[in-house]
Structure 1
Amino acid sequence: MKENRSKLVLLLAVAFVLCSAFRADKPVVTIFMIGDSTMANKKLDGGNPERGWGMVLPGFFSEDIKIDNHAANGRSSKSFISEGRWAKVISKVKKGDYVFIQFGHNDEKADSIRHTEPGTTFDDNLRRYVNETRAKGGIPVLFNSIVRRNFVQPKDASITKDIRRTPGEKEQPKEGTVLFDTHGAYLDSPRNVAKELGVVFVDMNKITHDLVQELGPVESKKLFMFVAPNQIPAFPKGREDNTHLNVYGARTIAGLAVDAIGKEIPELAEYIRHYDYVVAQDGSGDFFTVQEAINAVPDFRKDVRTTILIRKGTYKEKLIIPESKINISLIGENGAVLTYDGFANKKNVFGENMGTSGSSSCYIYAPDFYAENITFENSSGPVGQAVACFVSADRVYFKNCRFLGFQDTLYTYSKQSRQYYEDCYIEGTVDFIFGWSTAVFNRCHIHSKRDGYVTAPSTDKGKKYGYVFYDCKLTAEPEATKVYLSRPWRPYAQAVFIRCELGKHIFPIGWNNWGKKENEKTVFYAEYESRGEGAHPKARAGFSQQLKNLKGYEINAVLAGEDGWNPIENGNKLIMVKR
Structure 2
Amino acid sequence: MKHKLTLLLGLFFLLSAFTADKPVITIFMIGDSTMADKSLTGGNPERGWGQMLPGYLSEEIRVDNHAVNGRSSKSFIDEGRWEKVISQVKKGDYVFIQFGHNDEKSDPKRYTAPGTTFDENLKRFVNETRAKGGIPVLFNSIVRRNFGTADGNKLIDTHGAYLDSPRKVAKELGVAFVDMNKVTHDFVEGMGPVESKKLFMWVPANQVAAIPKGREDNTHLNVYGGRVVAGLAMDAVAKEVPELAKYVRHYDFVVAQDGSGDFFTVQEAIDAVPDFRKNVRTTILVRKGVYKEKIVVPESKINISLIGQEGAVLSYDDYAQKKNCFGEEKGTSGSSSCYIYAPDFYAENITFENSSGPVGQAVACFISADRVYFKNCRFLGFQDTLYTYGKDCRQYYEGCYIEGTVDFIFGWSTAVFNRCHIHSKRGGYVTAPSTDRGQKYGYVFYDCRLTADEGVTEVYLSRPWRSYAQAVFIRCYLGKHIVPAGWNNWGKKEAEKTVFYAEYESTGEGANPKARAPFSHQLKSIKGYEIETILAGNDGWNPVKNGNELLDIKR
**Same fold, TM-score > 0.5, yes or no:** yes
C-alpha contact (below 8 Å) 1:175/1:217 kept by paired residues: no
Q: Do structure 1's residue 241 and structure 2's residue 223 form an aligned pair?
A: no
The corresponding residue for 2:287 is 311
Aligned counterparts, 1:178-577, within 5 A = 178-577=154-553
Contact 1:31 1:98 in 2 (8 A): yes
Q: 1:311 to 1:24 in 2, by over 3 A?
A: closer
Task: Name 1:86's counterpart in structure 2.
Answer: 82
| 1:502-534 Cα deviation digits (max 9, x unpaired) | 000001000000101000000000000000000
Per the alignment, in what secondary structure is the counterpart of residue 39 of structure 1?
Answer: coil
Matched, 1:95 2:91: yes
One-letter amino acid of the structure 2 residue matched with residue 291 of structure 1: Q
Q: Is the 8 A contact 1:31 1:100 kept in 2?
A: yes
Partner of residue 127, structure 2: 131
2:242 alignment partner AA: P
Indicate whether 1:61 and 2:57 are aligned.
Answer: yes
Q: Distance in 1 between matches of 2:190 and 2:87?
A: 41
In structure 2, what is the Cα distance between the partners aligned to 1:69 and 1:560? 48
Q: Specify which of 8, 30, 36 is matched with residue 34 of structure 1.
A: 30
- The letter for the 1-side match of 2:500 is F
1:176 corresponds to 2:147: no
Q: Structure 1 pair 26/346, CA: closer, same or farther in 2 (3 Å)?
A: closer
Distance, in Å, in 2 between the alignment partners of 1:24 and 1:254 is: 30
Q: 2:348 is aligned with what amino acid?
A: E
Measure, in 2, the Cα distance between the counterparts of 1:345 and 1:237.
48
1:527-579 Cα distance to aligned partner (Å, 9 max, x none)? 00000000000000000000000110000000000000000000000001111
* Rounded Cα–Cα distance in structure 1 between residues aligned with 2:382 and 2:454: 16
**Distance between the aligned counterparts of 1:226 and 1:86, measured in 2?**
32
SS in structure 1 of the partner of residue 425 of structure 2:
strand
Deviations 1:293-326 (A, max 9, x none): 0000000000000000000000000000000000
Provide the rounded CA distance (Å) in 2 between the counterparts of 1:288 and 1:264: 32
Structure ID, larger Rg? 1
Question: 3-state SS of the aligned residue for 1:468?
Answer: strand
| 1:207 partner letter | V
User: Secondary structure in 1 aligned to 2:483?
Assistant: coil
Amino acid at match of 1:76: S
The alignment's TM-score, normalised by the length of structure 2, stands at: 0.96
> How much does 1:24 deviate?
5.9
d(CA) in 2 for partners of 1:27, 1:294: 32
Question: 1:530 is aligned with what amino acid?
Answer: S
* Residue 6 (structure 2) aligns with: none
Give 3-state SS (helix, strand or coil) of 2:403's partner: strand
Shift of 1:175: 7.8
Percent identity reads 80
- Mapped partners of 2:437, 2:233: distance in 1: 56
Q: Matched residues in 1 for 2:142 and 2:205: separation?
A: 26
Equivalent-residue separation in structure 2 for 1:224 and 1:430 (angstroms) = 53
Alpha-carbon distance in structure 1 between the residues aligned to 2:470 and 2:349: 28
| Kept in 2: contact 1:76–1:107 (CA 8 A) | yes
The one-letter amino acid of 1:381's match is G
Give the Cα separation in 2 of the matches to 1:319 and 1:497.
31
CA distance in 2: counterparts of 1:25 and 1:498, whole angstroms: 32
Contact 1:150 1:181 in 2 (8 A): yes
Indicate the RMSD between aligned Cα atoms, in angstroms.
Answer: 1.2
State the shift of 1:152 in Å: 1.9
The 2-side partners of 1:68 and 1:266 are apart by: 21
How far does the alpha carbon of each residue in 1:116-143 deviate from its partner, in whole angstroms, 9 at most, with x for none? 0000100000000000000001000000
- Compute the displacement of 1:89 (Å): 0.1
Amino acid at match of 2:465: W
Partner of residue 7, structure 1: none
For the residues of structure 1 that align with 2:393 and 2:110, how far apart are their CA atoms?
A: 63
Query: Residues 30 and 67 of structure 1 are in contact (CA less than 8 Å); yes or no, is this contact kept in structure 2?
Result: yes
Aligned pair 1:119/2:121, yes or no?
A: no
Do the aligned residues in 2 keep the contact of 1:472 with 1:501 (CA within 8 Å)?
yes
Q: 1:24 to 1:349 in 2, by over 3 A?
A: closer
Task: Identify the residue that residue 156 of structure 1 maps to in structure 2.
Answer: none
Q: SS state of the match for residue 93, structure 1?
A: coil
- C-alpha distance in 2, partners of 1:466/1:230? 56
Query: What one-letter code is carried by the residue in structure 2 that aligns with 1:436?
Result: W
Give how far 1:237 is off.
Answer: 1.3
- How far, CA to CA, are the matches of 2:196 and 2:502 in structure 1? 63
Runs of 4+ aligned residues of structure 1 deviating over 4 Å after TM superposition are none
TM-fit CA distance, 1:26? 3.8
Aligned positions, number: 539
Distance in 1 between the 2:337 and 2:90 partners? 43
Distance in 1, matches of 2:339 and 2:410, equals: 15
In structure 1, what is the Cα distance between the partners aligned to 2:230 and 2:179?
13
Q: Name stretches of at least 5 consecutive residues in structure 1 with no aligned partner.
A: 1-18, 154-173
**Equivalent in 150, 153, 174 of residue 146 of structure 2:** 150
- CA offsets, 1:440-466, max 9 Å, x none? 000000000000000000000000000
- Do the aligned partners of residues 388 and 556 (structure 1) sit closer, same or farther apart at CA in structure 2, a change above 3 Å counting? same
Q: Distance in 2 between matches of 1:438 and 1:237?
A: 57
Unaligned runs of 5+ in 2: 1-14
Question: Deviation digits for residues 82-120 of structure 1, max 9, x if unmatched?
Answer: 000000000000011000000000000010000000001
Q: Secondary structure at the match of 1:78?
A: helix
Question: Which residue pairs with 1:108 in the alignment?
Answer: 104
Whole-angstrom CA distance in 1 between matches of 2:428 and 2:73: 65
1:37, 1:244 within 8 Å by CA — same for their partners in 2? yes
**In 1: Cα distance, 2:288 partner to 2:171 partner:** 39
Q: Distance in 2 between matches of 1:416 and 1:343?
A: 26
Q: CA deviation at 1:25?
A: 2.8
**Deviation, structure 1 residue 479:** 3.0
